[in-house]
Structure 1
Amino acid sequence: MSFDAKSELLKALKGNATLVSLCVGGFHNLKANDVTKFPRIVYSEIHNADDLFSDNSAIASEVRFQISIFNTEENISSQTAIAKEVDKTMKSIGYTRYDSIDLYEEDTKVFHKAMRYEKTFINGGM
């Protein structure tokens, strides 16, 4: 796939001014650089595979991301607002949400909302 899905995703997240203002811990790929700032978003590509075949050649790629919102107990009320902005942002760039779950990380005492999205990219474009 020549299209850079991670760059598109990060640009969209950073382009949402409301989301930027809500996530003082920033946006991170795979892991946060500063683990003391909350709330924050960590995104990871969880699937990237050939899709839609023609004459035994893939003409598209299916990409899936997990967007994780990490939040502390003190500011958990912002979790819903952040999730709504993430959903709006992901849908604006053509992703469909197929899963969402609320979790609590016992070891770090951090609330974690995991949201999963998928999109099919036609090879050579979007």
Structure 2
Amino acid sequence: MIIDLEPVVVSALRNDAELISLLGRDKEGKVKVYPLVAPDISNPKITFFEITNFPNKFAGDKELSSAIHFQIDVWNSGNTSKISMAANRVMESLGFVRSGSNSLYEPDTKIYHKVLRYKKTHIGS
């Protein structure tokens, strides 16, 4: 059983009032939260992807739970702290635990980049 939490994650991030305020909307009117790649270069924005999704516990030959890991990337021409803290709050509200983070600077584009990694054990239905 593969559990797809991407729709849950994108919905929670795109529907959070604080993130809507901090990120704004793109040309199509969507809050600037994108799976994998953003369609344009405007900042600030969030991209995210599922890192791993694998069986965690079994009963006989039936999978009982999955271990799921996501990465959230915050991109901004300035400080990423407010957006990162809001994204962290949203992920924790979904039951994810932050497993690591690091701050980066992309010198070629002069963009600040905050990487947030999360893990969750999801019990199947």
Q: Output the TM-score relative to the length of structure 1.
A: 0.87
Equivalent of 1:41, from 42, 46, 71?
A: 46
RMSD: 1.4
1:28 aligns with 2:28: no
Whether the aligned pair in 2 keeps the contact of 1:2 and 1:123 (CA below 8 Å) is no
Residue 107 of structure 1 corresponds to 108
Runs of 4+ in 1 over 6 A off after TM superposition: none
Judge conservation of contact 2:2–2:53 (CA < 8 Å) in 1.
no
Partner of 2:82: 81
Task: State the match for 2:55 in structure 1.
Answer: 50
Aligned-partner residue type, residue 111 of structure 2: V
**TM-score scaled by length of structure 2:** 0.88
Tell me which of the two structures has the higher relative contact order, counting C-alpha pairs closer than 8 angstroms and 6 or more residues apart.
1
List per-residue Cα deviations over 1:36-90 (Å, max 9, x = no partner).
Answer: x111000011111111122243211111100000011xxx23x111111011100
Structure 2 stretches lacking a partner, 5+ long: 27-31
Identity of aligned residues (%): 34
- C-alpha separation in 1, matches of 2:5 and 2:106: 28
More displaced stretch, 103-112 vs 80-89: 103-112
- Which residue is 2:29 aligned to? none
